[in-house]
Amino acid sequence: MSDPNTLQTITDFAEQLAVEAGDLVRRERDQNTLRTDYKQQTELVTHADVMADEFITGAIRERFPDHRILSEESMPDLSQAEELETPLWIVDPIDGTVNYAYGHPQVAVSIAYAENGQVQAGVVHAPFPGETFRATRGEGATLNGQAIAHSGATVPRQSLFATGFPYTKDNLAPLVDRLNAMIHQCRDLRRIGSAALDICWVACGRLDIYYETVSPWDFAAARLIALEAGARAGHFGDVPRGYPEDLWGQDILISAPAVWEPVRSILRSASGYD
């Protein structure tokens, strides 16, 4: 699957699925009273999440029956990311479910394709503004077909950053320490509510910095898009030996290249890592 033409075809397929799933979730919110439930008593999930998940994963299984799928709603087994022999699809049918339920526009469908633990294709589609971010490894990143690039920010003090917070609130102290350090050393904070869009907004220059701890389905596609847009992506914490960096969601940091190292230092110091 390393042939660029094949990867472009896979990216096209992922974009088609993301756009069609986006149409589905937009219609569900526009036409119906949302049905909601909770996962693990804290995390909101809507009927549209499940419908979009079934649509995307069903189409992948039909076209690529031998591939594996890591999906937030139906197959959230993170051990899938450690089995590198078979191609892996990483799917988030609605990233920003709380935004979705409250009628906010910052909602995205995220689909990534990985080989040997390395993401090769990624699509993030925002159905309400009608924006589609996509990237194929080595081919650059686009927004609605137009090439995008990071902001070129050079110092944290003049940089706009985004982050998020977990549904469970029992260990917020380290996050508050990081936020306190960042808010004092950067321009300002934006809390968008979708990790995939946070990262894509770094990719196209609407944000300068993003950091958080999230799951692979939240960031896998967007991370490749940011990299292909020239941003720098890594971690301010340590990645376990042997775990694919493209799929490790702990302590992610993605930013314009010039501010990555100084921001990493800020976050490591605030986290007590140094």
Phi, psi of 33 (to 5 degrees): -80, 120
Instruction: Confirm whether residue 72 is marked as ligand binding.
Output: yes
d(CA 106, CA 129): 8
Q: Where are the alpha helices (DSSP H) in the chain?
A: 4-31, 47-63, 97-102, 173-185, 195-203, 216-228, 257-271
Instruction: Confirm whether residue 92 is marked as ligand binding.
Output: yes
103 CB neighbour count, 10 Å cutoff = 10
- In the numeric block, which tokens belong to residue 262? 């100084």
By the 8 A CB rule, do 210 and 252 touch? Answer: yes
Cα angle value 88/91/94 (rounded, 5°): 175
Hey, is 179 helix, strand or coil?
helix
Instruction: Confirm whether residue 95 is marked as ligand binding.
Output: yes
Binding-site residues: 72, 92, 94-95, 218
Question: What are the binding residues for Mg(2+)?
Answer: 72, 92, 94-95, 218
